[in-house]
């Protein structure tokens, strides 16, 4: 749905900021706890956490960058929260509290915004986190950007880095073709991340947002490289459909499309991958795939060795995938 309106009575400047805040409180419903833990004061007042570590993250949702008119307003609202939940999942954490900063034109449709908030509120209830407050700010007509900051907690957060020679590389779910729908309808892998964080085998974890080709290199310690068996990469049906249109290999889509919101993680060397996968299958319905392993990188020969290679040692899709402010050559 298109977020902006020509109607004089459906726009934000028909009601003004104070009424907008009252509406936001109504739209958020039970996802916004009672004052002063929820909306209404200079800050929200939160109870102390129960677990050892606090986790703090934010992500934004920008019109024409992260969603367009093919998304419903409620999908857009849920997506903003789920993008943040996916980061908490990637640490093995539990989400707690969120604040939301909204910056948009006065021509934003009230109907659209109400559905944005109810979509987000429903998602917050589903995943057990609160929307405790936020901020609104007027921007140019036709613009919409929202940033959500999410606080979570974990006893044993899992970092991105921490691999060793011979360690296995895994991905949950399947990858690629997200623009065909998955970028809106994904489920953040919270239970999966929490389960993985408690396993003794786990060394490192992150979520895949920019595509395997951008994100996997972020996990590889110096001196090591990821050796991936391309035939094992979990290519999604959407990646195959995208490949039909683009004429490119489906596995390239799996590596570079991004917004998979799946977990990418590394387990220690010497484990039995079949046993690990069987333990996962007892808990979760979607697939888990070991795609390759870490090995020592060849000594640099002029340039740094590739971070991600195929079974033949050739580099895989280096530099491709999603990047904001990509350098134009």
Ligand X SMILES: Cc1ncc(C[n+]2csc(CCOP(=O)(O)OP(=O)(O)O)c2C)c(N)n1
Ligand Y SMILES: Nc1ncnc2c1ncn2[C@@H]1O[C@H](COP(=O)(O)OP(=O)(O)O)[C@@H](O)[C@H]1O
Binding site for ligand X (CB under 6 A): 59, 64-68, 83, 179, 183, 209-210, 258-259, 322, 324
Helix, coil or strand: residue 104: strand
The residues that touch Mg ion, with contacts defined as CB under 5 A, are 209-210
Closest CA to 321 of 190, 178, 189: 178
Question: Whose Cβ is closer to ligand X: residue 66's or residue 253's?
Answer: 66
The residues that bridge with 309 in the sheet, in sequence order, are 227, 315
Closest approach of ligand Y to the CB of residue 6, in Å: 35
Binding site partner of 82, from ligand Y, Mg ion, ligand X, none, Cβ cut-off 5-8 A by kind: none
Shortest reach from residue 65's CB to ligand X, in Å: 6
Least spacing, CB of residue 32 vs ligand Y, in Å: 25
Binding site per annotation, positions: 42, 57, 59, 66, 87, 134-135, 160, 207, 209-210, 259, 322
- Ranked by CB distance to ligand Y, the top (closest) residue is 209
Min CB(90)–ligand Y separation in Å:
7
Written as one string, the DSSP assignment of 228-291 is E-GGGS-B-HHHHHHHHHH-S-HHHHHHHS-----EEEEE-TT--HHHHHHHHHHH-SS-EEEE
* Closest distance of CB 147 from Mg ion, Å: 14
- Closer residue to Mg ion, CB minimum distance, 298 or 319: 319
Which among ligand X, ligand Y, Mg ion, none contacts residue 284 (Cβ within 5 to 8 A by kind)?
Answer: none
Residue nearest to ligand X (CB): 258
CA–chain centroid gap for 185, Å, is 12
Asked if 87 touches ligand Y (CB under 6 A), the answer is yes
CB of 222 within 8 A of CB of 329? Answer: no
Coarse DSSP helix, strand, coil percentages of the chain, rounded to the nearest 5 percent? 35, 25, 40
* CA 214, chain centre distance (Å): 14
209 binds ligand Y (CB under 6 A): yes
Q: Is 153 in the site for ligand Y (CB under 6 A)?
A: no
């Amino acid at each position: 749905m298109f977020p902006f309106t020509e109607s004089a009575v459906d726009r934000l400047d028909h009601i003004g900021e104070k009424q907008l805040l009252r509406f936001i409180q109504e739209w958020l419903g039970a996802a916004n706890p009672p004052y002063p833990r929820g909306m209404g004061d200079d800050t929200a007042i939160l109870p102390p956490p129960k677990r050892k570590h606090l986790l703090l993250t934010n992500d934004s949702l920008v019109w024409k960058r992260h969603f367009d008119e093919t998304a419903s307003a409620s999908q857009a609202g849920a997506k903003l929260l789920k993008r943040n939940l996916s980061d908490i999942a990637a640490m093995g954490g539990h989400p707690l509290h969120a604040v939301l900063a909204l910056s948009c034109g006065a021509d934003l449709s009230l109907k659209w915004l109400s559905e944005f908030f109810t979509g987000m509120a429903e998602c917050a209830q589903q995943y057990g986190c609160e929307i405790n407050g936020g901020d609104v700010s007027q921007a140019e007509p036709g613009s919409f950007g929202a940033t959500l900051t999410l606080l979570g907690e974990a006893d044993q957060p899992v970092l991105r880095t921490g691999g060793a020679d011979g360690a296995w590389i895994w991905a949950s779910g399947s990858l690629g073709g997200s623009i065909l729908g998955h970028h809106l309808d994904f489920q953040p892998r919270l239970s999966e991340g929490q389960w993985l964080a408690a396993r003794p085998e786990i060394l490192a974890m992150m979520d895949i947002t920019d595509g395997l080709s951008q994100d996997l290199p972020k996990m590889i310690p110096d001196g090591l490289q990821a050796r991936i068996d391309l035939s094992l990469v979990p290519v999604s049906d959407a990646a195959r459909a995208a490949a039909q249109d683009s004429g490119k290999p489906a596995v390239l889509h799996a590596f570079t499309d991004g917004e998979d919101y799946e977990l990418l993680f590394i387990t220690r060397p010497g484990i039995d991958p079949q046993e690990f996968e069987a333990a996962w299958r007892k808990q979760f319905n979607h697939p888990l795939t070991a795609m390759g392993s870490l090995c020592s990188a060849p000594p640099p020969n002029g340039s740094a060795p590739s971070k991600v290679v195929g079974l033949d040692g050739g580099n895989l899709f280096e530099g491709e995938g999603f990047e904001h402010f990509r350098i134009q050559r």
